Amino acid sequence: MLEPMEKCVVFDHTRARFPALVPAGASGFDDLAFLDHQRARPWYGRAVEGARSFSSTGTSGYPKPVPWTPAEDAWYVDEKRDLFAPRLDGRARAFISLAVGHNAGSARAVLEDLGLEVHDAGLSALDDQCAAITAFAPEVLYCSPSILANLIAALERRGQRPTSVRRIITNGEVLFPSARTRAQSFFGIGHADLTDTYGSTEIGTIAYSCGTCGAYHFLDGLYPEAAPAEVADSRDLIGGEAGAVVLAVSSVTRTSFPVVRFVTYDVVRGLRRGTCGGARRFTCERVLGRCDDVVNYGELFSCYDLGDLIGSRLPAARWFVFNPWNDLTIVIEGLEPAGFREELRSRYPLHSRMSDLGLLDPPEIRFVGDFDAFTARAGLPASRRGKAARRVQRRTPESSWFEEPAR
């Protein structure tokens, strides 16, 4: 998919910045290994002079620090500003609700640099955010998809439909087509008025939805390709959807963390080169989800911590997590131990706080005595006790799975 000159650019960058990733005798890009979660692990948490660290659970399921230098922070903000400028031209007020993280920390600076007056809601209660939207009358909403969905539901319950909102930007989780349609309908805006941005803590902004052609365009300086199945562990390409591949990305702008054939474990459809607005660029139709056990639930949710908690309270118990959208259902084998839910809350303080504030729906937790019967009714993959299995299912659990058969 990459052209020879592009491969040379990435190879030269890797040789200059990350020589440890260049095998002895390597002569070009194709000799570089894909950076899967095993190969990437040693690069997390490295000390980089002057860098700030942001936590990511991508590629493995447990939190890991990712360094960003001041220079990288600066181009990250510049990229966002250049991306948003034509979409927000003439707009005066913006409302931000992005919880926490690298993107949340830079959002105010990006929008203020574009001349907008900004109300950053931070981690405030959902009702307070609704009241602020009503009073501030923003023309722009900048939210994660899950917070945007809860804001819309809360505004509707209050009988309010802010007519000031004419642009929406989303970031942080997959924006599913139904959520996009719901937001456009509620605020009375068109497809081109909602820009979805997709990225990761390791890479920064990766792609954005185009209001002209409806596809996602990759940012300049990024070189996407399909990861091979044996590297991506792509047993679940989101229902086996046609044209779906696991994404790998190379970046020539990241210098403190190696984004070199970096396997994101995101599944995209229709990865290709395309032409839009007279420009030829890397494009995909849309982001479908993930093929690994990393869960997006408001913010990234670590299954590593969940498994550790279950193992400490119910040794050898089997469990599944259902994460079909930006929600969460946890199903565990056995009887519920005393205090389990309180311990779960303490393991995930950010998610618990977001849930308490109404920004995130609390997870549904179900304990099942006859787990074999449950997995049979659900058609889930069988797993032996004590043996790790694909924990995360991208399906919506059905009530019939939990019904005990009549005796």
**Domain end among 290, 306, 336:** 290
Q: Is residue 327 part of a domain?
A: yes
Residues 250 and 311 in one domain: no
Q: Is residue 19 part of a domain?
A: no
Residues 281 and 351 in one domain: no
Cα dist. 245→139, 208, 238, 389 in Å?
36, 18, 10, 22
Residues 212 and 302 in one domain: no
Rounded distance, CA 1 to CA 307, Å? 38
Q: Is residue 317 part of a domain?
A: yes
- Where do we find the tokens 């474990």? 265
Residues 323 and 279 in one domain: no
Residues 322 and 278 in one domain: no
Predicted pLDDT at 312:
95
* Span 241-286, pLDDT tens digits: 788 999 999 999 999 999 999 999 999 999 999 899 888 999 999 9
Residues 6+ apart with CB under 8 A from 79: 204, 205, 219
Predicted pLDDT at 234:
53
Predicted pLDDT at 321:
92
Q: Is residue 57 part of a domain?
A: no
What predicted TM-score, i.e. pTM, was given to this entire model?
Answer: 0.91
* Span 174-209, pLDDT tens digits: 899 999 999 999 999 999 999 999 998 899 999 999
| Half-sphere exposure for 99 (CA within 13 Å, toward CB) | 25
Phi, psi of 80 (to 5 degrees): -60, -45
Residues 119 and 207 in one domain: yes
Predicted pLDDT at 17:
96
Per-10-residue mean pLDDT of the chain, 407 residues long, equals: 95 97 96 94 90 70 82 91 95 93 84 96 95 97 95 96 96 90 97 95 93 94 92 59 91 94 94 92 92 77 87 94 90 96 93 93 94 92 57 88 76
Phi, psi of 348 (to 5 degrees): -125, 70
Predicted pLDDT at 387:
44
Predicted pLDDT at 373:
93
**Domain end among 236, 266, 290:** 290
Residues in the chain: 407
| Half-sphere exposure for 122 (CA within 13 Å, toward CB) | 1
Residues 307 and 262 in one domain: no
Q: Is residue 199 part of a domain?
A: yes
Q: Is residue 285 part of a domain?
A: yes
Predicted pLDDT at 101:
74
Query: Residue 270 belongs to a domain with what CATH number?
Result: 3.40.50.12780
Q: Is residue 2 part of a domain?
A: no
**Domain end among 265, 290, 315:** 290
The total of structural domains in the chain comes to 2
Residues 248 and 314 in one domain: no
Residues 250 and 334 in one domain: no
Residues 198 and 328 in one domain: no
Residues 323 and 219 in one domain: no
DSSP secondary structure code for residue 42 in this structure: G
Range of the domain at 270: 70-290
Residues 388 and 282 in one domain: no
Q: Is residue 61 part of a domain?
A: no
- Give the residue from 263, 237, 223, 247 showing the smallest Cα distance to 34: 263
Residues 6+ apart with CB under 8 A from 210: 216, 217, 276
